[in-house]
């Protein structure tokens, strides 16, 4: 979603993730890499990180 808000275009998950890793704080790299490696049926413990990232996206969308 952040990629689309910033570029006005839709991209693949991989392309969007790469851009996010380039433009967001370095602390997000591990979270993004974990999400990219996720497979169906695998539990992730990223609720707090996901909520924080949503807040970042919302804040950027309001700029």
- For the chain, the three-class secondary structure string (H helix, E strand, C coil) is CHHHHHHCCCCCHHHHHHHHHHHCCCCHHHHHHHHHHCCCCCCCCCHHHHHHHHHHHHHHHCC
pLDDT at 9: 94
Average predicted confidence (pLDDT) for the chain: 88
Q: In this predicted model, what pLDDT tens digit does every residue of 27-55 receive, in sequence order?
A: 889 889 988 888 788 888 888 998 998 89
pLDDT at 57: 83
Domain ranges of the chain: 2-61
Taking residues 13-34, report their average pLDDT. 90
């Amino acid at each position: 979603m952040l990629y689309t808000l910033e570029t006005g275009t839709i991209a693949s998950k991989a392309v969007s993730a790469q851009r996010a890793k380039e433009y967001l704080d370095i602390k997000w790299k591990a979270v993004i890499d974990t999400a990219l490696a996720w497979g169906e049926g695998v539990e992730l413990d990223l609720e707090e990180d996901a909520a924080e990232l949503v807040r970042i996206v919302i804040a950027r969308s309001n700029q």
